[in-house]
Amino acid sequence: MISFSQAVNCDNSRKWLNTMKEELKSMERNDVWNLVELLEGCKRVYCKWLFKTKCEFHGNLKYYKARLVAKGFT
């Protein structure tokens, strides 16, 4: 796996950025979250990107995978 800064600064950054956009579109289509005003005394939920390449059986690159995940717990 690679970090966000590695993904956006590497030679394949365009592919990673497109993969991130697709992940956000998928989340929007599936209505995964609601943005709400944070109530006093409540903790904010942070998130982070996870990046991974998927390969075929013979080791050839099949596709790029990016996931936006919640970080932490309540």
Note the pLDDT tens digit of each residue in 33-69. Answer: 888 899 999 888 888 999 988 888 887 878 889 999 9
Predicted pLDDT of residue 73? 66
DSSP letter (8 states) at residue 59: S
Q: Return d(Cα 22, Cα 38) in angstroms, integer.
A: 27
Overall average pLDDT of the 24-29 stretch: 94
Q: How far is CA 74 from CA 24, 33, 43, 44, 64, in A?
A: 23, 16, 8, 9, 31
Average pLDDT, integer, range 24-32: 93
What mean pLDDT is predicted for residues 26-34? 90
Mean pLDDT of the chain: 87
User: Domain limits of the chain?
Assistant: 4-29+44-71
The tokens of 43 are what?
């903790």
